[in-house]
Chain A
Amino acid sequence: AAGVIQSPRHLIKEKRETATLKCYPIPRHDTVYWYQQGPGQDPQFLISFYEKMQSDKGSIPDRFSAQQFSDYHSELNMSSLELGDSALYFCASSLAGLYEQYFGPGTRLTVT
């Protein structure tokens, strides 16, 4: 069965640079969630989209923005990167009305 795809899997950036993370949900899933997991921490909700509209927002810095496109894939744009942005970024998808989220493998972002 198709799973959630995230790209790239690993990304190394310098401080003040910009990064774009991509998420391709499971086919027919219309809802995407982004989570950030810092070293030794639990995943923290950043933002979610349903049918290309933002549905909820968590502790996402103003330097970050995201959107969901017409094909339901989503991109998380991160600007003015800081050392503290180094983390594992998960994307998860679900079908509206169903409670279970399916997680992608994550993108490991390292800011040097």
Chain B
Amino acid sequence: AQTVTQSQPEMSVQEAETVTLSCTYDTSENNYYLFWYKQPPSRQMILVIRQEAYKQQNATENRFSVNFQKAAKSFSLKISDSQLGDTAMYFCAFMGTSGTYKYIFGTGTRLKVLA
């Protein structure tokens, strides 16, 4: 069974600084997708960035980028130039492709951006 682990329950970063959130996963599948979701106090699940396992290139979306290490099964999220609006819970999610496409989430990292 696939598992997703986020080992940092809480993190804080100064405004305009850079922070990296960690995520590791376990799977026997070769093709899969990984996601980072942001959940602000409104509790809405907002997609931040996605990575397809068969793509070597790390995904980037504006201030957000990932460091995808397939062999190490690691998928970290880097937030550059942190903004107060980045304060939220961040979930790493895995989706396999060999069965149905349910998401498996990590336990989340609560990020606080300090002014």
Q: Which residues of A approach B to under 8 Å, CB–CB?
A: 31, 33, 35, 37, 41-45, 48, 50, 55-56, 58, 88, 90, 92, 94, 99-101, 103, 105-106, 108
A43-B91, A99-B33 known; A33 vs B45 contact (CB < 8 Å): no
1/0 per residue B41-77: CB within 8 Å of A?
0111101001010000000000000000000000000
Interface range on chain B (Cβ under 8 Å from partner): 20 to 34
Task: Determine chain A's interface SS by DSSP, over half rule.
Answer: strand
Query: Are B104 and A88 interface neighbours, CB within 8 A?
Result: no
Q: Which of B85-115 contact A (CB under 8 A)?
A: 91, 95, 97, 99-108
Point out the residues of chain A lying under 8 angstroms from B105, CB to CB. 42-44
Q: Are A42 and B43 in contact (CB under 8 A)?
A: no
Q: 7 tightest A-B contacts by CB?
A: A56-B100, A103-B45, A42-B105, A45-B102, A99-B33, A55-B100, A42-B107
Q: How far is the CB of B23 from chain A (nearest CB, A)?
A: 12
Interface centre among B37, B91, B101, B106 (most CB of A within 10 A): B101
Chain B contacts for A50, CB-based, 8 A: 100
**B107/A48 in contact, CB under 8 A:** no
Q: Are A33 and B102 in contact (CB under 8 A)?
A: yes
A90 to B42, CA, bound (A): 13
- The answer to whether B43 touches A88 (Cβ under 8 A) is yes
Residues of B within 8 A of A90 (CB): 45
CB <8 Å contact, B44 and A105: yes
16 A-B residue pairings within 8 Å (CB atoms): A33-B102, A33-B103, A37-B43, A42-B107, A42-B108, A43-B103, A45-B104, A50-B100, A55-B100, A56-B99, A56-B102, A58-B102, A90-B45, A94-B101, A100-B47, A106-B45
